[in-house]
Every structure is written in C-alpha cells, then in structure tokens.
C-alpha cells in the first residue's frame, strides 16, 4: 500500500462516516466511500481500472441495501468515472438488478453520469497496436483461453477491488463493490463483483458483506451470501469469515478478502491472501488503515 492509497482510504472512510453521522442512510455512505476510491485513480476501479487484453477498460460494480433487499449492478461498463453510481441508478430507476456491456454504458450516458478522463498514452498505445504486436496479442489470447481452467494463472494476475459496508442509525445495512477486473482478462469476462450473493450481499436480518479476490472462485461458492446466511443464524463475523474463506480454499483453491458487518454492528476484516488493504472508523480518533488484518 502506497502513502497515497493510505491517505485515500482514510479520506473515503471519513466521507462515508460523516454521512452516517448526519443521519444519511447506509447506502449513501457506501456509495460515497466507493466513489472516493473510484475517482482517485489509485485502485483498480473507476479511473484506475486496468485495461483488458484488447486495451479497453471495462468495469463492474454493485450496491445493495438490506431493508428491502434492493440491489443494482453493472458489468462491462465503459468510460464512467463512478461505476457504483451507475449500479445505484439500476437499483433505483429500473425494475432490474444487472445491466451489462455497451447498453449499461448507454444507460449511464442517459443519466449524464460523470465520464472518465481520456485514457493515458499507455492505454492509447495498447489500442493502436502494430501488426507484429497484434499477432502476439492474438497468440496471448489463445494461450489465455487454454489457461482458463488453471486457477493458479488467474490468481497471480489478480488485482484489488474496492468495496464498503455500512450500518446506519435506523439499523439498515448496505454493501457495495467496484472493480476493473483482473490483469490480462479476456474481453467479456465478468467476475464476482456485479453478481449479488457472490461479491456483495446486504440483509437487515443478517448483515452486509463485500468481497475482494479471485472472482472465479468466489462465484463458485457464492461467498457473500454464504457469509450472510451464517450471520443470520447469529454467528460471529470474524469466525464466520474465517470459516467460509477456509472453505473457499479447500473446495476451489480460492483466496479472497471480506468486509463483514453484522446487523448489530460487529464487524470483521478478514483475508486469506498475503495482504488486504482496508480500514475502518468509529468516528473518533483517526481512521484505522492497514494492509494486513488477523
């Protein structure tokens, strides 16, 4: 974690908590927190999203609130500064949960969401490939197709997702997440982030969960929903997260990190990866930010 990332995380925590302190709903706090991270360009989300194998930045995001189980998500959206804002519009302005691809981008344009700055020179050069490099890129694409059944390759290429969970004074929980995916991902690939019950879940009868890690493994276990179901039975957030992540490793050789918040305000930041940059704040002192948690 760089100094700039640490400062940005602290800013995001303050931004979200200040809304809660003023009586705003938890979903506002989650969206505001994630927007700070998306807009910073310091994480693999929003303005910092990595290009896919064809040089295009496509992003996924989701958001959910626990009172009425409302949820919204976008996958493969392009050119949007705050993908989580598009996910929330799907939740609030449509009868759907998930919009994908170019039509998700058109949806965001219709609501005049902020656009990303033009891509930098590095991305521009990737798009305008000379023939020799294009041939190599096509070969790499074929190789990646051959590697899709080998989780170890994808695990090495994983990058960070941003997310947040919150509980407001009315007892409503919310969760959200946003990502640019994994490095060198095949165009068309969708991970766990926009899949409700996999990357995020929120239920006032259980709690809120936001995941980061290798999406292919998280999807197979439906990790966020499994954690939430155990919370609904009264399980401890830290114990629950450890048990489910252990199951993830045992069953599908996966690795991940989880933000877990129970309906009564207990929380855990747990990961079975070497590091997970995250933080929390109770409104007093300074926000706690670290890249390793027990």
pLDDT band for 234, please (50, 70, 90 cuts).
very high
For residue 192, give the CATH number of its domain. 3.60.20.30
List pLDDT tens digits, range 177-203.
Answer: 999 988 778 899 999 999 999 999 999
Q: Hey, what are 270's tokens?
A: 């747990």
Evaluate if residue 100 carries a pLDDT over 50. Answer: yes
Mean pLDDT of 121-137: 41
80 phi/psi in degrees, rounded to 5 = -100, 130
pTM: 0.86
**Please, what is the average pLDDT of the chain?**
88
List pLDDT tens digits, range 239-281.
Answer: 999 999 999 999 999 999 999 999 999 999 999 998 899 999 9
Evaluate if residue 1 carries a pLDDT over 50. Answer: yes
pLDDT band for 283, please (50, 70, 90 cuts).
confident
One DSSP character per residue, 47-74 reads GGPPP-TTS---EEEEEEESSS--EEEE
Mean pLDDT of 34-63: 94
Q: Which residue in 161, 172, 193, 277 is the catalytic one?
A: 161
Whether the Cβ atoms of residue 238 and residue 270 lie closer than 8 Å to each other = yes
Would you state the pLDDT for residue 55? 87
* H runs (alpha helix) in the chain: 3-21, 26-40, 83-93, 101-110, 121-127, 131-147, 151-156, 215-221, 223-232, 237-252
Would you state the pLDDT for residue 19? 97
Domain that holds residue 33: 3-290
Whether the Cβ atoms of residue 202 and residue 227 lie closer than 8 Å to each other = no
Share of the chain above pLDDT 70, in %: 86
256 phi/psi in degrees, rounded to 5 = -165, 175
Q: Please tell me whether residue 288 adopts helix, strand or coil conformation.
A: strand
Task: Name residues whose C-beta falls within 8 Å of residue 135's C-beta, 6 or more positions apart in sequence.
Answer: none
* Cα–Cα dist 89/212, whole Å: 23
Domain count, the chain: 1
* Cα–Cα dist 59/87, whole Å: 11
Share of the chain above pLDDT 90, in %: 75
Instruction: Tell me how many degrees the CA angle 77-83-88 measures, rounded to the nearest 5.
Output: 115
161 is catalytic: yes
Would you state the pLDDT for residue 119? 58
Task: Name residues whose C-beta falls within 8 Å of residue 227's C-beta, 6 or more positions apart in sequence.
Answer: 201, 209, 240, 241, 244, 258, 260
Length of the chain: 294
The single-letter DSSP state of residue 113 is P
Would you state the pLDDT for residue 64? 98
Would you state the pLDDT for residue 118? 67
Of the candidates 27, 42, 20, 8, the one whose C-alpha atom is nearest the C-alpha of residue 287 is 8
The single-letter DSSP state of residue 217 is H
* Largest Cα span, the chain: 60
């Amino acid at each position: 974690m760089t100094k700039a990332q640490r400062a940005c995380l602290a800013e995001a925590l303050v931004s979200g908590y200040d809304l809660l302190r003023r009586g705003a709903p938890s979903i506002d706090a989650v969206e505001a927190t994630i927007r700070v991270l998306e807009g910073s360009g310091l994480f693999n989300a929003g303005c910092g999203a990595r290009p896919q194998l064809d040089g295009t930045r496509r992003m996924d995001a989701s958001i959910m609130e626990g009172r009425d189980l409302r949820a919204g998500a976008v996958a493969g959206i392009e050119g949007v500064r705050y993908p989580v804002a598009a996910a929330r519009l799907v939740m609030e302005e449509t009868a759907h949960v998930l919009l994908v691809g170019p039509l998700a981008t058109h949806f965001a344009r219709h609501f005049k969401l902020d656009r990303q700055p033009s891509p930098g020179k590095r991305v521009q050069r990737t798009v305008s490939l000379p023939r020799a490099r294009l041939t190599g890129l096509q070969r790499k694409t074929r190789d990646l197709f051959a590697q899709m059944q080998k989780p170890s390759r994808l695990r090495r290429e994983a990058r960070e997702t941003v997310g947040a969970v919150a509980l407001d004074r009315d007892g409503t929980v919310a969760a959200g997440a946003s990502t640019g995916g994994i490095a060198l991902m095949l165009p068309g690939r969708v991970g766990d982030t926009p899949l409700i019950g996999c990357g995020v879940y929120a239920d006032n009868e259980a709690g809120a969960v936001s995941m980061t890690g290798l999406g292919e493994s998280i999807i197979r276990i439906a990790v966020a929903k499994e954690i939430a179901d155990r919370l609904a039975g009264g399980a401890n957030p830290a114990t629950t997260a450890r048990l489910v992540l252990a199951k993830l490793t045992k069953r599908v050789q996966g690795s991940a990190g989880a933000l877990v918040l129970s309906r009564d305000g207990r929380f855990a930041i747990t990961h079975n990866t070497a590091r997970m940059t995250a933080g929390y704040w109770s409104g007093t002192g300074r926000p706690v930010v670290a890249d390793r948690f027990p």
